[in-house]
Structure 1
Amino acid sequence: MEFLTAKVIYIALFILIIHTIETLAYAVRLSGARVGLIASALSLFNLMVIVSRLANMMQQPFTGSLIDAAPEDHPLVFVAHQYRFIIGASTAGTLLGIVLLPTFVALFSRAIIHLSNQKGSVPALFKTLFSYDYFKRGLLHTHLPRKTYLKGLSLKGFPKRLFLVNMVVTSIYTIGVLSALYAALLAPDRHSTAIMASGLINGLATILLVIFVDPKISVMADDVINKKGSYVTLKNVSLMMVTSRLLGTILAQLLFIPGAEYVAWFTKFIV
């Protein structure tokens, strides 16, 4: 367990928080459909995405520094253990987000109403959310998932393609930076090229998410507002999406090394 340094633990905690936030982003659409304010919900959703993306960018230099601090003896094995631990933190964060999902659906519903009442002012919303009274009321809505939350859950109309796409995209996004950094160890003569490839990988994963996943969930939320669809169906699909996200972080463990080898191979055509 020599690879488990204080820095690795800090990075893992950071990753855990990032993936918890991104998983809870699914609760925003559910909350928007619940209170009938989908446009305000999307504003809050975009805010959460920006926060998670910014946090992800902030941790990248620290994750990269693990390569610089790797021992000369067996650096590949040492760094691989560290990065796999960090990937495991993404799984833990996603699982934590799933556990907190019912609680945050209730909290976001109230936050969306506040955002609408305050004419879309995010600073005013933050002032309300971080007040003592709101925090105290928020604790009353905090609870673990109950069996009743799964009431009406059905595999009828299970979106298999959407499930698989979300799982694959999540796995690519999870290992994008890590595989590129590890590729720098596999191809030390092209390490700068390999590291810079991380932005391309994550960019492609984000584009796939925006094209194939987000629009379908948004349309389902709109259907609930327009009385063309049911809230139960939207909840079912959202639960399936967070499950596919969880499986995606597990799949990332399998794709980590092959992904790094592919990046190292691809850099031959760039240099």
Structure 2
Amino acid sequence: MEFVTEKLIYISLFILIIHTIETLAYAVRLSGARVGLIASALSLFNIMVIVSRMANMLQQPFTGSLVDTAPSSNTLSFLEHQYRVIIGASTIGTLVGIILLPTFVALFSRAIIHLSQQGGSVPSLFKTIFTLDYIKRGLNQMHFPNRTYLKNFSLAHIPKRLFLINMLVTSIYTVGVLSALYAALLAPDRNNTVIMSSGLINGIATILLVVFVDPKISVMADDVINKRGNYLTLRNASLMMVTSRLLGTLLAQLLFIPGAEYIAWFTQFIV
């Protein structure tokens, strides 16, 4: 039991890192629009995406092994508790990302400018930002969201449908794999089919994200650079999106079991 608890802590830390980075992704367009270098911002952020992907690769085998090490009695309730802790870690990670958002925008804006000045050389950028002087200046930029940051925040011009879709997509992403693993226990006669179906669930979420969410925010960022929109509107949209993301991780707690039951039911038509 102690081994499982320790393993759960490691998994939760990986999940926290993943969701923190994915939440900070909303700051990338803010930083890029702020300095007029969207493409450079996205390119630089890919480095953080690599960290997120590595954390995701590392946690997946450990998450799957929770099933193998679960007790033979009360297996479902035991795993439900474990998985709900993991989902809770995604909420904490999203909250950490929201808290770091203003600091990340400030630091990332400076990093984008340095990357541009150094001809796109990431090694040269790292050599600059990891100097003691630069780190001290970076620490001075750290600040948490406050009333001033939220001043003039309004949802008046933000599509409510975008808010709801992003919340739904986040919840599906959060529980897709976990629900599939849990569903494998509900339908043990087709557990391999059930586990592999998580890709189908996450694929639907990806389509919703690419078709309905990303283009809207990208166009807003382009409008700021091309003087057709204002930075405040983009910031309001980004704050709305991270809020909907946070609510999406909470919604995931409600969708976890129904999602597992749906996957178990759906796979009977595949086998």
Bigger mean CA offset, 194-203 vs 13-22? 194-203
For structure 1, list consecutive stretches of 5 or more residues without a partner in the other structure. Answer: none
CA contact (8 A) 2:4 2:69 kept: no
Runs of 4+ in 1 over 4 A off after TM superposition: 1-4
Quote the Cα distance in structure 2 between the aligned partners of 1:226 and 1:160: 25
Instruction: Decide whether aligned partners of structure 1 residues 68 and 44 sit closer, same or farther in structure 2, where only a CA change above 3 A counts.
Output: same
Quote the Cα distance in structure 2 between the aligned partners of 1:260 and 1:41: 38
Secondary structure of the 2:149 match is: helix
Partner of 1:187: 187
1:75-154 to structure 2, matched below 5 A, reads: 75-154=75-154
What is the number of equivalent residue pairs in this alignment? Answer: 271
| 1:193 alignment partner AA | T
| 1:242 alignment partner AA | V
The CA deviation at 1:215 is 1.1
Instruction: State the TM-score, normalized to the length of structure 1.
Output: 0.95
| 2:105 alignment partner AA | V
Partner of 1:32: 32
1:1-271 to structure 2, matched below 5 A, reads: 5-271=5-271
Quote the Cα distance in structure 2 between the aligned partners of 1:130 and 1:55: 22
For structure 2, list consecutive stretches of 5 or more residues without a partner in the other structure. Answer: none
The Cα offsets for residues 78-99 of structure 1, whole Å up to 9 and x where unpaired, read as: 0000000100000011011101
The Cα offsets for residues 43-71 of structure 1, whole Å up to 9 and x where unpaired, read as: 12344334323422321111000000110
Quote the Cα distance in structure 2 between the aligned partners of 1:124 and 1:204: 39
The Cα offsets for residues 211-251 of structure 1, whole Å up to 9 and x where unpaired, read as: 21111111100000011000000000000000000000000
Quote the Cα distance in structure 1 between the aligned partners of 2:264 and 2:132: 51
Bigger mean CA offset, 122-131 vs 76-85? 122-131
Instruction: State the TM-score, normalized to the length of structure 2.
Output: 0.95
The CA deviation at 1:155 is 2.1
CA contact (8 A) 1:3 1:78 kept: no
Quote the Cα distance in structure 2 between the aligned partners of 1:148 and 1:50: 33
Percent identity of the aligned residues?
Answer: 80
The CA deviation at 1:24 is 0.8
Quote the Cα distance in structure 2 between the aligned partners of 1:204 and 1:50: 23
Quote the Cα distance in structure 2 between the aligned partners of 1:18 and 1:129: 23
Bigger mean CA offset, 45-54 vs 113-122? 45-54
CA contact (8 A) 2:155 2:240 kept: no
Quote the Cα distance in structure 2 between the aligned partners of 1:122 and 1:207: 31
RMSD of the alignment, in Å?
A: 1.7
| 1:28 alignment partner AA | V
CA contact (8 A) 1:22 1:48 kept: no
| 1:168 alignment partner AA | L
